[in-house]
């Protein structure tokens, strides 16, 4: 961000969804989490973390893998007890964007493998889709390039908890990009393994409070 750039012009809107599956024709969103960061990946405010109610018919469309995953994480029981609608979840994320982002300069959507989330947003939360910039920041793209160009950085990336819950997944994605910023967006050939380990620890420490 330059001194002439308004602070709200540098935001990234991080969104992660949990769904009943990946088929747009039969699966639905059941959890919505969102966080806003500035250009330096500092998390602004508390964000959004909502479980969305859906019908038993929709839950029945989950395959065995997703059924086990959501049951193990506790999400399935929370879906059944939730009273939050998808429209209410959409409103909450829009309010977060309105609070932290410039109204005339839509912020990019950010996350890991974010195209899938964007497709479900476009289908079920069209007002939110319209409020986001058409560009996206996909951390998985940086990961794939790091694997090819900066393998030491790639193999020392922060460990993931694999919680399969939306808010934790977002924080992990932000932390991962912070790590790549420290190790990949630098002069070639990048850090040696000890330096990558130091960057891994620094990124882990910087975001640890958001996992507690």
CATH number, residue 88: 3.30.420.10
Residue 15: per-residue pLDDT: 98
Domain extent at residue 20: 7-206
Domain contains 1: no
* Average pLDDT score over the chain: 92
Residue 210: per-residue pLDDT: 85
- Whether residue 8 is predicted with pLDDT greater than 80 in this model: the reply is no
Residue 118: per-residue pLDDT: 98
Annotated catalytic residues are 134
Domain contains 105: yes
Domain contains 193: yes
Domain contains 211: no
Q: Please tell me the least confidently modeled range out of 85-99, 112-126, 194-208.
A: 194-208
| 37, 44 Cβ separation under 8 angstroms | yes
Domain contains 19: yes
pLDDT tens digits for range 145-161:
999 999 999 999 988 87
Name the pairing type of β-strands 29-37 and 109-111: unpaired
Band of the pLDDT at 5, cuts 50, 70, 90? very low
Q: How far apart are CA 63 and CA 31, in angstroms?
A: 17
Domain contains 111: yes
pLDDT tens digits for range 168-186:
899 999 999 999 999 999 8
Neighbours of 17 (CB within 10 A): 25
CA atoms within 13 A on the CB side of 188: 2
Number of domains in the chain: 1
Band of the pLDDT at 187, cuts 50, 70, 90? confident
pLDDT tens digits for range 50-103:
999 999 999 999 999 999 999 999 999 999 999 999 999 999 999 999 999 998
Residue 139: per-residue pLDDT: 97
Domain contains 192: yes
Domain contains 2: no
């Amino acid at each position: 961000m330059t001194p002439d750039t308004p602070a709200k012009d540098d935001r990234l809107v991080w969104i992660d969804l949990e769904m009943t599956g990946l088929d747009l024709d039969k699966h639905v969103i059941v959890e919505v989490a969102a966080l806003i960061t500035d250009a330096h990946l500092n998390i602004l405010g508390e964000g959004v973390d909502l479980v969305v109610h859906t019908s038993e018919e929709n839950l029945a469309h989950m395959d065995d893998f997703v059924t086990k995953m959501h049951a193990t994480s506790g999400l399935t029981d929370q879906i059944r007890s939730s009273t939050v609608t998808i429209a209410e979840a959409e409103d909450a994320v829009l309010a977060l964007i309105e609070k932290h982002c410039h109204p005339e300069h839509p912020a990019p959507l950010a996350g890991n493998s974010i195209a899938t989330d964007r497709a479900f947003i476009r289908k079920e939360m069209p007002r939110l889709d319209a409020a986001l910039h058409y560009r996206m920041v996909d951390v998985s793209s940086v990961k794939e390039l790091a694997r090819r160009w900066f393998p030491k950085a790639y193999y020392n990336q922060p460990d993931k908890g694999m919680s399969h819950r939306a808010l934790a997944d977002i924080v992990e994605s932000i932390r991962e990009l912070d790590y790549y910023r420290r190790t990949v967006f630098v002069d070639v050939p990048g850090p040696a393994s000890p330096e990558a380990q130091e960057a891994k620890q620094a990124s882990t420490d910087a975001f640890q409070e958001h996992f507690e």
